[in-house]
């Protein structure tokens, strides 16, 4: 953990100094991408400080942090997904019943129920609340938006603190949380850097204009190598760490890509403005939405 923290601080320090040097070099007319880099650096310092403090405090603090993340991500999703007054009851149950219940079951360690609470019970009950309102206009679309939002923002994200409950040697659950977040978030950063430095061929400009084939390949490759270097955080060896890092990097890309398609459909650039330089909370955790449940079940199936 200490090695990883020092490495992260060195990387952030280097990125901050590079951003400062580039801004000084361009004088008063700083290009938008440099200003964005500086804003991202400032946000990363704050996010890593908060996450590091939660890790230091332990499982309860990490779980509380992700309750906050899920709540704000779901709020952003619900804000951009059009709703009607007849949907409000389902949304209230999503925010104030199923979200705290999901995380409460994780803290309690009841895997058999928290693994099916949302995909079974919430999936079946939420449409009932909407149907009882008597409003059938665009019913299927409205129900699907609520279900999709709670699956992404609550169920998928909740698999991150759920790693702390796996029956592994003491401290390894927290190491897995750090491994997952470090690899997936690094993949996003590396894709951004490789895309800016080497990007020539657009991947899917209609969905994500800034993503390139070179950025994708370079980012996932570097994140995979990082995962191999961080394999000591989990119960796997070097080669297993490389394979798992590759798997969650690809899953993370798919998560970001799918949610970018939703943003393009809603004709917005970001999910919100919660994090300076990054957009909304959901813009920062979109890749984790796809990577977290896959990582959790791979570890649970093969190592517990």
Separation of alpha carbons 212 and 215, rounded Å: 5
Per the listing, tokens 């998928």 go with: 156
Whether 126 has a pLDDT exceeding 90, the answer reads yes
Beta-carbon contacts of 189 under 8 Å, excluding residues fewer than 6 positions away, are: 219
First to last CA, the chain: 22
Q: What percentage of residues in the chain have a pLDDT greater than 90?
A: 48
What's the pLDDT at 29? 74
What is the Cβ-side half-sphere exposure of residue 118, based on CA atoms within 13 angstroms? 30
Separation of alpha carbons 71 and 37, rounded Å: 27
Q: What percentage of residues in the chain have a pLDDT greater than 70?
A: 98
Alpha-carbon Rg for the chain in angstroms: 20
What's the pLDDT at 74? 95
Q: Report residue 247's pLDDT band, with 50, 70 and 90 as the boundaries.
A: very high
Separation of alpha carbons 247 and 141, rounded Å: 31
Q: Could you report the per-residue pLDDT of 70-93, keeping only the tens digit for each?
A: 999 999 999 888 778 888 999 999
SS3 of residue 211 by DSSP: strand
Separation of alpha carbons 220 and 173, rounded Å: 24
Average pLDDT over residues 200-229: 89
Q: Report residue 265's pLDDT band, with 50, 70 and 90 as the boundaries.
A: confident
The total of structural domains in the chain comes to 1
Partner residues linked to 212 by β-bridges: 202
What's the pLDDT at 201? 84
Q: Report residue 152's pLDDT band, with 50, 70 and 90 as the boundaries.
A: very high
Give the mean pLDDT of the chain: 88
Q: Could you report the per-residue pLDDT of 180-189, keeping only the tens digit for each?
A: 999 998 898 8
Q: Report residue 244's pLDDT band, with 50, 70 and 90 as the boundaries.
A: very high
Within the chain, where are the H helices?
2-26, 32-57, 59-80, 88-93, 99-108, 111-114, 123-132, 139-150, 159-162, 172-198, 213-229, 238-266, 281-303
Separation of alpha carbons 125 and 254, rounded Å: 29
Whether 195 has a pLDDT exceeding 90, the answer reads no
Whether 281 has a pLDDT exceeding 80, the answer reads yes
Instruction: Please give the residue that has the higher pLDDT: either 279 or 107.
Output: 107
What's the pLDDT at 276? 67
Beta-carbon contacts of 139 under 8 Å, excluding residues fewer than 6 positions away, are: 130, 131
Instruction: Please give the residue that has the higher pLDDT: either 226 or 25.
Output: 226
Question: Which range (137-151, 198-212, 288-302) has the least confidence?
Answer: 198-212
SS3 of residue 169 by DSSP: coil
The residue range of the domain holding 229 is 2-303
Q: Report residue 96's pLDDT band, with 50, 70 and 90 as the boundaries.
A: very high
Cβ atoms of 159 and 292 within 8 Å: the answer is yes
Instruction: Please give the residue that has the higher pLDDT: either 202 or 29.
Output: 202
Average pLDDT over residues 53-70: 92
Tell me if the pTM is above 0.85. yes
What's the pLDDT at 33? 67
């Amino acid at each position: 953990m200490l090695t990883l923290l020092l490495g992260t601080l060195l990387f952030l320090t280097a990125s901050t100094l590079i951003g400062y040097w580039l801004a000084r070099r361009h004088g008063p007319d700083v290009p938008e991408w440099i200003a964005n880099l500086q804003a991202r650096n400032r946000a990363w310092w704050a996010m890593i400080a908060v996450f590091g403090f939660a890790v230091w405090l332990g499982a309860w603090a990490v779980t509380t942090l992700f309750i906050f993340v899920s709540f704000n991500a779901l709020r952003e999703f619900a804000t951009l997904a059009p709703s009607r007054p007849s949907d409000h009851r389902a949304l209230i149950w999503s925010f104030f019943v199923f979200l705290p219940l999901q995380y409460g079951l994780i803290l309690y360690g009841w895997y058999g129920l928290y693994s099916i609470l949302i995909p079974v019970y919430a999936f079946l009950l939420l449409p009932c609340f909407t149907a009882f309102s008597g409003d059938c206009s665009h019913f299927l679309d409205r129900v699907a938006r609520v279900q999709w939002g709670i699956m992404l923002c609550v169920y998928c994200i909740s698999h991150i603190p759920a790693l702390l409950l796996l029956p592994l040697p003491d401290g390894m659950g927290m190491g897995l949380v750090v491994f997952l977040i470090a690899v997936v978030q690094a993949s996003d950063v590396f894709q951004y850097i490789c895309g800016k430095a080497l990007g020539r061929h657009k991947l899917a400009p209609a969905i994500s204009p800034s993503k390139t084939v070179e950025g994708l390949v370079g980012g996932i490759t570097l994140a995979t190598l990082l995962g191999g270097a961080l394999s000591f955080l989990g119960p796997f060896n070097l080669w297993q760490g490389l394979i798992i890092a590759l798997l969650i990097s690809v899953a993370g890309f798919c998560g970001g890509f799918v949610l970018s398609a939703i943003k393009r459909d809603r004709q917005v650039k970001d999910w919100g403005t919660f994090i300076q330089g990054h957009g909304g909370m959901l813009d920062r955790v979109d890749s984790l939405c796809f990577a977290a449940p896959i990582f959790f079940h791979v570890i649970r199936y093969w190592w517990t």
